[in-house]
Chain A
Amino acid sequence: MNVRLYLWQRLTAAVIAPLVLVHVAVIFYATRKGLSAADILARTRGSLTWASFYGVFVVAAAIHATIGVRNVLTEWSPLRDRGAGLLASAFGVLLFLLGARAVVAVVLP
């Protein structure tokens, strides 16, 4: 890993940490209250706040996971920098697309 990837990895980690805590708390609250899908979607649909929150979360997580997976591939698989980077990037793009779709699914009014 070089300095550029390292910085993106650590930066996204720092961004994700507080988002994760909020997310876990939110999910825990929703579960305890026994919220139904309708209840949840009523709160998220059309909400700029939730869209921003989860939008940032998805982008950061996609970048963070991509770089992490790339590192693991270079060390634990026969792939080296280029191959590992390509495979990891493909995974990252998949994560981003699925994540964006999920965010859209819950915030679109």
Chain B
Amino acid sequence: MSLWRGGEEGRYETYKVPLRENQTVLDVVTFVQRHLDPTLSYRFACRVGMCGSCAMTVNGRPRWTCRTHVSRVAARGQLEIGPLENLPVIKDLTTDMRPFFEKWQQAKGAFVPSRTRREDFAPIRPDTPARIAADAAIECINCAICYAACDTVRWNSDYLGPAALNRAWTLVNDVRDGATSERLQAVAASGGCHACHSHQSCQELCPQQLNPTASIAGLKRRTMWAYLGGEI
């Protein structure tokens, strides 16, 4: 198998790793670091598909390495592992996630409260269309696989990306949130939801089965009406 070594500039280096039953790509990377080359840098945390830290490019596709079985992807005995695309490389398999989170902020992907502790809880019915829409997109754990997979992110450095826009969509549908106008403004700007071409690579590769393309389409509708209504 080959692993990317270096920063933005570097090369793939080959390692021989014992093949075991029920082996994940993360197991293999860990083996290299522990037994072959302690200078290898990579990230992981939970090892069980909950945190999203271990996302890397495996044979050209961004995946959670802890949930990717070697037997599934190394069909012809070839395994090539690199850092996530579209993000600056710090070293080897670790990327700088700051641009990803900065765009999250730019899309106003944070909840802005409209009530204080002195008021009653906002009653949210789970079966309202808005809540159903928000719930369908809410399980994002910021692993950046969609961001790495997106060609529009690759081609357009201003593009906020599927994850940030997906989160903005959940908040736009949250009746408790108090910053809808600002958020719609943020996603209607250059680099916002209108830059999406619906390639759907995000939806195809999201390990949580989320659909940022649909969320972004929703944002396109909302911003269109907001613009026509003079709100933004």
List the interface of chain A (C-beta within 8 A of B): 1-7, 74-76, 81
Number of interface residues of B (CB under 8 A): 15
A74: chain B residues within 8 A (beta carbon): 156
From residue 174 to 210 of chain B, which have CB atoms closer than 8 A to chain A? 188-190, 192, 194-195
Q: Are the C-beta atoms of B155 and A81 separated by less than 8 Å?
A: no
B31 at the interface (CB under 8 A from A): no
Secondary structure of the A contact surface, majority rule: helix
- Provide the main secondary structure of the chain B interface: helix
Among B142-193, those with CB < 8 Å from A are 152, 155-156, 188-190, 192
Cα distance A70–B220 in the bound complex, in angstroms: 19
Out of A1, A3, A75, A76, name the residue touching B227 (CB < 8 Å). A3
29 A-B Cβ contacts within 8 A? A1-B190, A1-B194, A1-B195, A2-B188, A2-B189, A2-B190, A2-B192, A2-B194, A3-B188, A3-B192, A3-B194, A3-B223, A3-B224, A3-B227, A3-B232, A4-B227, A5-B194, A6-B194, A6-B220, A6-B224, A7-B224, A7-B227, A7-B228, A74-B156, A75-B152, A75-B155, A75-B156, A76-B155, A81-B190
In the A-B complex, the 3 residue pairs with the smallest Cβ-Cβ separation, listed nearest first, are A75-B155, A6-B194, A3-B188
Tally of contacts, chain A with chain B, CB under 8 A: 29
- A5 and B153 CA atoms in complex are apart in Å by 19
A1 CA to B188 CA, complexed, in Å: 9
> Cβ of B220: which chain A residues have Cβ within 8 Å of it?
6
